[in-house]
Structure formats: structure tokens, C-alpha cells
Amino acid sequence: MAQPPDISLTAEQLKTSNQQGFLLLPGFYDLDS
Amino acid sequence: MYQIIGLVAENHGLPLKRPPFAPETFDAGYNALIAGDRGVGSAVYDAAKLIPAFLRLLASDKNERLFAAVRETDLVGIGAASFGIRIDNPHEEQFRSQWHQEFLYQPQSLDGLVYWSPLAEIRENMGPVEVCVGSHRDGLCVYRKGGKYANKSGAYRIGLADEAAVVGRYTTAAPLTRPGDLLILDYLTLHQSGFNISERSRWSMQFRLFNFREPTGRKLGWKPSVTAGTEIDTLFPKNFVD
């Protein structure tokens, strides 16, 4: 069975998201798959 | 999308001269098509959200797990009528989203997230999403129908009351993005579509996920998008002025 994708965010990313109200995740999707 | 654009052109009996398919120009012919008949663009817009690959990505495990991680919830939802592929055409104001917060139009949970991801590289002249940094911490704003946006269509007529003053309280950011990148926005973050002054439409996917456990959304009953008929001025009477 395939493992679920790892989308764990760093503490810094979560802090940025909470402070700014948005977060950019470069290359989050693999559009070729 | 390339094939759908071709089919829509055929459906309308419109000639379409364009190069063979290439990923980076998947929308070849679209701008020429709408230059001849803008209404044809609506058919492409409606069809885009019917593509299985798009729906698979929307409902993907990856999207769900990201939301669960950011909001620390075990019960993630997808807002009814909340997803699609925006096609923001050059120099077109009628359907541009001015400053707003998503929760007003998507009353599913206060801690919902917009997932915004471009299908083509977004350069500055294509109008990247503009965000008021930290605005989500100040709660749901007050809005007005019939103000400076009164001549627009449907929900696009709704604008922030005292828009310039409200937006002026914040610094703004407008991240540039590429296909594959994902921008997530808090449902209370003030944001708007940038102005597309390029020659190519800005194609972007929008998903909206929410937290079934958030108390306000739960009390409201996880309402669908305003575009599906939710009467938001009735739902949020304190957030509208004449």
C-alpha cells in the first residue's frame, strides 16, 4: 500500500502562516504525476 | 484544457488556429477565442472544473493532510461549490475579485483555507494575488453593496466599506508563483486579484477546505458558497452597511 504523502510543515512555516495569514509552499504539487 | 478549448471552439463554430499542445502553452488559442466572442469564455470556465484530474487534486490526500496539519483538526471538509479554475482575462475588471475575505463568501469555518495554485507562471504584469499581511487577526470586516463596485456582476458588487482606509492599515504582499506552487490563505485574510495587464489570461486553481469542528461554521451549518445561493447579507447582518 502506498504511503500517504508527507506534508509535514516546519514550525517556522506554521509560525509564518499564523502570523501573516498566508503561506507560500513552492512546488507543493507534482503536476507531472 | 487544451482539448476543451478546442471542443468549445468547435461547439460555437469558431475557427481556432493554434500550435500543437505543449504544457507551457496549454491555453493556446483561448485569448483569440474570447477576443471574438467573450461569452465563449464562460463555457471554458464551466467545463474546466469538470476535469477529473482537477477534482482528484482537489480531494487529494495531500490537500487534506495539509489542512489537518495547519489547523490541527481530524475532520476536513471541502466547501460546497467552492472550487474551480479561475481565468482572469487581461484588462478585465468585471470579474476581478477586489479586496475581500473568503469567509464572507464561503461560510464554512472561520479557520478555512483557500488553496491557490497557478497553472501558468505568474509574473508581475499578470496580477499576482495581493494580500494584506496579518489582516486575518482583525476578524470579519464590514462590507457594502452598491458602492464603488455597484456596476459589477453578482457577488462582485460587494466591496469593503471604507476599502482604502481598511487596506491602508496593512502592508501588502503579492507573491509570484509557478505551476506546482501553492499559496494558502486564511479565510479571514484580506486579499484581492491583482490587475492583469499582460496579454495572457491568468489561469489558477482554487480549492477551499474547512474544519468541520470549528464552532462558528458548525453553528452556521457549513454553508455553501455565495455563488450557490447562500444569502450572506442575511447570514452576517452586522457585517453589511447600506
Give residue-wise pLDDT tens across range B159-212.
Answer: 999 999 999 999 999 999 999 999 999 999 999 999 999 999 999 999 999 999
- Distance of CA B182 to CAs A25, B54, B64, B66, B83, Å? 5, 14, 14, 11, 15
Residue A1's pLDDT band (cuts 50, 70, 90): very low
Residue B36's pLDDT band (cuts 50, 70, 90): confident
Size of interface A-B (CB pairs under 8 A): 75
State phi, psi for B94 to the nearest 5 degrees.
Answer: -55, -40
> A15 at the B interface (CB within 8 A)?
no
Q: What ipTM was assigned to the predicted interfaces of this complex?
A: 0.93
> A19 at the B interface (CB within 8 A)?
yes
In chain B, residues under CATH classification 2.60.120.620 are: 52-241
The amino acid sitting at B194 is G
Instruction: Please give the torsion angle defined by the CA atoms of residues B118, B39, B82 and B95, in that order, rounded to the nearest 10 degrees.
Output: 70
**B52-241 has which CATH code?**
2.60.120.620
Percent of chain A whose predicted confidence (pLDDT) is above 70: 79
Measure CB to CB from residue B62 to each of A7, A21, A22 and give the nearest one.
Answer: A7
What is the distance between the alpha carbons of residues B163 and B57, in angstroms, rounded to a whole number? Answer: 34
> B204 at the A interface (CB within 8 A)?
no
pLDDT surpasses 90 at B84: yes
- The one-character DSSP state at B100 is B
pTM of the model: 0.94
Classified as helix, coil or strand, B114 is strand
**Best of B70, B100, B113, B170 to disrupt the A interface by mutation (most A CBs within 10 Å)?**
B70
Contact list, A14 vs chain B (CB under 8 Å): 70
Average pLDDT over all residues of chain B: 95
CB B97 within 8 A of CB B156: yes
Contact list, B178 vs chain A (CB under 8 Å): 26
In B133-219, DSSP assigns E strands to 143-145, 158-160, 172-173, 182-186, 191-192, 202-211
Contact list, A25 vs chain B (CB under 8 Å): 66, 181-184
pLDDT at residue number A5: 56
Which tens digit of pLDDT belongs to each residue from B99-147? 999 999 999 999 999 999 999 999 999 999 999 999 999 999 999 988 8
